[in-house]
A and B are shown apart, each in its own frame.
Chain A
Amino acid sequence: MTQIQLENVRVTYGNQDIVHDVSFTVESGELAVLVGRSGSGKTSLLRAITGYAPVVAGRVLIGGEDVTRRPAAKRDIAMVFQNYALYPHMTVRENWAFPLQAAKLPRAERDARIARAAETLQMRRLLDRYPRELSGGQQQRVAMGRALVRQPQIFLLDEPLGALDAKLRVEARSAFKTLQRELGTTTVHVTHDQTEAQALGSKIIVLDEGTIQQIGTPDEIYDAPANRFVAGLFGSPPMNFLDAELTRQNGDVGVTCGQMTIALPPQVGAHIFDHAPSRQVTLGIRPEAIRQSPDAIEGSAPASVYVTEPLGHNVIVDIRFSDQIIRARGDRDDDRLANLQPDDPVYIRFDAAQVHVFDRVTGQRFG
């Protein structure tokens, strides 16, 4: 059992609060992703788990044991650092043997583990190279290997894929996910890349300004973002936000935005209407929930094309709508939309089931 629990953890550097009152649990064997912008406190939180960050309040528990005051060496944690922190004066083999020597493992066991890691990471032929003789991707694998051979209770990864180029990053990402699944080691992965977070995590913890914004599965985070920050962080392009007004006609609640009124599902609508402190709200709509058509259809409103970005099988269309630019994702297979040119008129309609309503002041999502 190697569950990680953080209870009301507060991290302070100097007199600056970096992490305030954060609590979450990573279940045994789970792959959790901490995601946030730079400066959100995600690395500090990771360092709180290792024991390198000054935890001034709260508790850190590993496997149910309070380790808040326990030194890093005694927590049985292996970490992959953002800059890899490989020992430059040691070969790959020596880098990997280093933690095993500290653990006083017999030589045969040491060699066996190194051989196995070399196999898994396809590093067999590079074992006697020095880190400086390796490419970025290979160095990244050395860093992974050094964590693997330890067979620790917990893996912590601080943006391990950040320094790789885009193609390699995607490969390393899926290789890592497979590996983690096979090992079943409890893992916390830190990243600023929402795509990476979505792709990897079975649990995503969204952090901003030192506080947790939302914890959930990738789908929950995407489909039901807790607030405007989370909604804007995930998805590429991210969610569009428009100023809108809540309206009620004959008991049906809708959101009006420019010339368009979207009828909300009855129960949801009533709930929002009763709870919103103001009629003035922010409407959020994901690019793929914007339907476009060349002709006026029911519930649609006129707009015009601003620019288009073809992206393989689909196309991102920037649309000028009620004095704002919103981004829609269109299907290139749809012949009527495939050849849209700037300034072409287009009719858009928002998918009512996928409309999000946020408090304009606090950014909290209603519903």
Chain B
Amino acid sequence: MNAQPRSGRFSQALWYLPVLLITAFFTFPLIWIVMTALKPPIDVFAYPPKFVFSPTLDNYRRVLQSDYMGSLGNSVIIALVSAAFSVVLGTLTAYGFSRYPLRGKDNLFFWILSLRMLPVIAVIVPYFLLFQRVGLTDTVVAMMLVYSVFNISFTVWLLKGFFDEVPREMEEAAKMDGYGPWGVFTRVALPLVIPGIATAMIFNVVQSINEFLLAFVLTQRKATTAPIALLNFLTPMGLDWGGISAAASMLVAPVIILAIIVRKHLIRGMSFGQLE
């Protein structure tokens, strides 16, 4: 039983080949960025590209001492707060949409989703004027609010699907077991959609951390986010490839760390149909 036939093991190994190729294809840019960040300036432009070189931390040292760190801090805080806020509000809203009868529910739901489909350029000027009026231009709070608008709509849409999958009988059972609506929500429905919440959290953080256009217009100095700050590596003397790579790799890091933390749930999120 234990010893697999050799041909079986061989064909199994063969299955890994496409997996490895695809993984390599998608991780290559990341690897390239980290490699460039570790290269001395002379090796950055070497042709053909060097895969063996003596690594240096000079680029990281330079970035750490620059203004970029403040912007990175802004980005991380904006992304995390906005994502968390969106998940809390989005989860409650999605549950309401999934479980309670509501007049004009479908239209309302589509309207919320359509906020996400809006081209960013269409709302930049209104946002700018709005924030100017209330004195929120160039603030971290403004960016959190703006990103939440986009994130909440996505979260509601995603989590409604997850809540819809929770069998109604399960909630009826909990009600009969003596729980009120809040108890049913927190003790039965919510634990079952954790994979969905983890997925929403990741997507929201990625969306906020990558966003450029809104941040470019709505921030000037204090609330500048990392993607905007990356522009500072574009100097009159040319592009600082080492610095920009070091900075970019630091921007990717929080997302990767978060993804690793919730990895288990992300995988479960994909196999959610097997709840029963």
**Chain A interfacial positions (CB closer than 8 Å to B):** 50, 52, 71-73, 75, 77-79, 81-83, 85-89, 98-99, 102-103, 131-132, 146, 150
The reply to whether B192 and A102 form a contact with Cβ atoms under 8 Å apart is: no
Question: Which of A50, A99, A103, A131 has the most CB atoms of chain B within a 10 A radius of its CB?
Answer: A99
B258 within 8 A of A: no
B 52-67 to A, binary, CB cutoff 8 A, 1 in contact else 0 = 0000000000000000
Residues in B with CB closer than 8 Å to A83 are 167, 169, 276
B 177-202 to A, binary, CB cutoff 8 A, 1 in contact else 0 = 11110010001100110000000000
Residues in A with CB closer than 8 Å to B175 are 71-73
Q: How far is the CA of A86 from the CA of B179 in the complex (A)?
A: 15
Nearest CB of chain B from residue A278's CB, rounded to whole Å: 48
Q: How far is the CA of A56 from the CA of B164 in the complex (A)?
A: 27
Complex partner residue of A89 from B167, B179, B191, CB under 8 angstroms: B191
B170 within 8 A of A: yes
B 160-180 to A, binary, CB cutoff 8 A, 1 in contact else 0 = 000000010110111111111
Nearest CB of chain A from residue B246's CB, rounded to whole Å: 43
Question: Which of B167, B178, B179, B187 has the most CB atoms of chain A within a 10 A radius of its CB?
Answer: B178
Nearest CB of chain B from residue A148's CB, rounded to whole Å: 13
The reply to whether A150 and B192 form a contact with Cβ atoms under 8 Å apart is: no
B3 within 8 A of A: no
Nearest-neighbor residue (CB-CB) of A75 within chain B? B176
9 contacts between A and B (CB under 8 A): A72-B172, A72-B175, A73-B179, A79-B176, A83-B169, A87-B170, A88-B276, A89-B191, A102-B178
Nearest CB of chain B from residue A155's CB, rounded to whole Å: 11
The reply to whether B169 and A102 form a contact with Cβ atoms under 8 Å apart is: no
Question: Which of A52, A83, A88, A132 has the most CB atoms of chain B within a 10 A radius of its CB?
Answer: A88
Q: How far is the CA of A197 from the CA of B276 in the complex (A)?
A: 28
Known: A72-B176, A82-B169. 7 other contacts (CB 8 A): A52-B172, A71-B175, A73-B177, A73-B178, A77-B176, A86-B170, A87-B174
The reply to whether B178 and A85 form a contact with Cβ atoms under 8 Å apart is: no
B275 within 8 A of A: yes
Given contacts A83-B276, A88-B275, A89-B192, contact A150 B169 (CB under 8 A): no
The reply to whether A85 and B167 form a contact with Cβ atoms under 8 Å apart is: yes
The reply to whether A50 and B178 form a contact with Cβ atoms under 8 Å apart is: no
Nearest CB of chain B from residue A122's CB, rounded to whole Å: 22
Residues in A with CB closer than 8 Å to B180 are 73
Given contacts A83-B169, A85-B169, A89-B192, contact A73 B176 (CB under 8 A): yes
Given contacts A72-B172, A85-B172, A88-B192, contact A102 B276 (CB under 8 A): no
The reply to whether A81 and B178 form a contact with Cβ atoms under 8 Å apart is: no
Residues in B with CB closer than 8 Å to A103 are 178
Residues in A with CB closer than 8 Å to B179 are 73, 102
Residues in B with CB closer than 8 Å to A132 are 274, 276
Q: How far is the CA of A102 from the CA of B179 in the complex (A)?
A: 6
Q: How far is the CA of A131 from the CA of B167 in the complex (A)?
A: 15
